Amino acid sequence: FHLQEDIFREKNTTFFIQLSLMDKLLHNCPKEGHLHLILKSLMLANDREGISGPLDPSLIQRTDVLLVSPWLAPIVWEGTFNRDILNAQYRQKNFVVGVATFAVKKYVRFIEGFLGSANKFFLSGHRVNFYLFTDHPEKVPSINLAPEKRLFIIPVQNYSRWQDISMNRMDIISNHIHSHWRYEVDYLYSMDIDVQMFEHIGVEIIDTLVGTISSWQYTKPRDSNSYERHPESRAAIPHGEGDFYYAASFYGGSVSEVYKLTTACFKGVTEDRANGIEAKWHEESHLNKYLLYHKPTRLLSPEYYWDEELIRPRIIRVKRLSSVRKDLQEVRF
């Protein structure tokens, strides 16, 4: 009996570790069905051998992090995919990815670092359109992009408050998708301009609806997540609800899904404004409300947006993209 028990435990080590990680990350789940989903997702991740795809379980070597969400969406970490297999698969599809980013007022200083690192590390070998919105087109530096990458500089007005710049991005993205981006790209991602990339970010990020788990989620308990809690706001998430907290610095998906997301979020922003309300974290609060009820089909781990204000834990083996250290008061005002 003891021998059989030892064999069972050895074969299911990954399962028990994943169960423990899920319990820590999503403790106090408000709905009874969550536990069933957690167990089901872990069983599938542990038992479904021989399935090929972007996150083939035969390639998974990580047992220290959560690899699948309660709704069975993969969570992308270093060591959970084979980029060569993915590149071979996606090159056959010949897709185009768009990246929308905003450099308004003093944020123009971050353009060179962003484009330079993105040219080197973002979807290398694949077609990418960078859509750069700025109120100072004349200050955009000349950067020699790879042949498969193109830069479109789009003039945009600035606003007196940085919060308004942030919250109007959703509307601008939605309008440009409707007018012409839907004819130009297959997938679209929104990224902050004040970031730099340090390792390759490839086709492992491609899916229908993609959210990036905030690096702050790994430094605070779940109940400390910065959801908007005031019930008057359209971004409000009731106490006891929520799963992951997503960073607005990097999100995306198919053009059609990003259109739905940005349109819905800006509608919430508009309704809040009409009622004299401003969500705690502006567009990010509305993004989290949307992704709570429209679950991402793929989640990117904090490797894909690490906040430099935090000490990097051991589980973050690779820092692919991170914020640039800066004086927020100086650049915003």
- Take residue 101 and report the two structure tokens written for it: 């980013």
- Residue 192 labeled ligand binder: yes
- Residue 223 labeled ligand binder: no
- Residue 107 labeled ligand binder: yes
Eight-class DSSP state of 177: I
CA 240 to chain centre: 23
Nearest-angstrom CA–CA distance, 199 and 320:
4
- Residue 307 labeled ligand binder: yes
Looking at residue 15, its pLDDT comes to 44
- Residue 143 labeled ligand binder: no
197 has a pLDDT exceeding 70: yes
8 has a pLDDT exceeding 50: no
Tell me the per-residue pLDDT of 34-57, one tens digit each, with 9 for 90 and over. Answer: 434 444 444 444 443 333 444 555
Looking at residue 252, its pLDDT comes to 99
Domain 90-200+221-296+314-332 = CATH 3.90.550.10: yes
Q: What percent of the chain has pLDDT over 90?
A: 63
243 has a pLDDT exceeding 70: yes
Domain spans of the chain, in order of start: 2-81, 90-200+221-296+314-332
| Long-range contacts from 323-330, C-beta under 8 angstroms, 24+ separation | 323/192, 323/194, 323/195, 323/249, 324/110, 324/113, 324/194, 324/195, 324/196, 326/194, 330/106
Using alpha carbons, select from 77, 17, 76, 75 the residue that is nearest to residue 243: 75
Range of lowest pLDDT (43-57, 145-159, 236-250, 269-283): 43-57
Q: What is the mean pLDDT of the chain?
A: 83
Q: Which of 228, 278, 284, 303 is catalytic?
A: 284
- Take residue 194 and report the two structure tokens written for it: 């004040």
Using alpha carbons, select from 177, 121, 150, 147 the residue that is nearest to residue 318: 121
Report, as an integer, the average pLDDT of 145-161. Answer: 90
Does residue 284 carry a catalytic annotation? yes
Report, as an integer, the average pLDDT of 244-252. Answer: 96
User: Where does residue 200 fall: left (phi above 0), alpha (psi -120 to 50 degrees), or beta otherwise?
Assistant: beta
Better-scored residue on pLDDT, 105 or 332:
105
Better-scored residue on pLDDT, 22 or 310:
310
- Residue 1 labeled ligand binder: no
Looking at residue 14, its pLDDT comes to 46
Tell me the per-residue pLDDT of 130-144, one tens digit each, with 9 for 90 and over. Answer: 999 999 999 999 999
- Take residue 254 and report the two structure tokens written for it: 């198919």
Better-scored residue on pLDDT, 280 or 258:
258
223 has a pLDDT exceeding 60: no
Contacts of 223 (CB under 8 A, 6+ apart): 28
Better-scored residue on pLDDT, 199 or 19:
199
Eight-class DSSP state of 58: G
Better-scored residue on pLDDT, 26 or 292:
292
Report, as an integer, the average pLDDT of 213-226. Answer: 70
Residues in the chain: 333
Entry pTM: 0.81
For strands 96-103 and 127-134, give the pairing: parallel
Looking at residue 309, its pLDDT comes to 81
- Take residue 259 and report the two structure tokens written for it: 């259109």
- Take residue 138 and report the two structure tokens written for it: 């004349």
What are residue 166's DSSP bridge partners? none
Range of lowest pLDDT (224-233, 262-271, 276-285, 310-319): 224-233
189 has a pLDDT exceeding 80: yes
User: Where does residue 52 fall: left (phi above 0), alpha (psi -120 to 50 degrees), or beta otherwise?
Assistant: beta
Burial code (b: 16+ CB inside 10 Å, e: under 16) for 213-240 equals bbbbbbeeebeebebbbeeebbbbbeee
Per DSSP, which regions of the chain are E strands?
Answer: 75-76, 96-103, 127-134, 149-155, 187-191, 195-197, 209-213, 246-254, 298-300, 321-323
Q: What percent of the chain has pLDDT over 70?
A: 75
Range of lowest pLDDT (147-151, 181-185, 324-328): 324-328
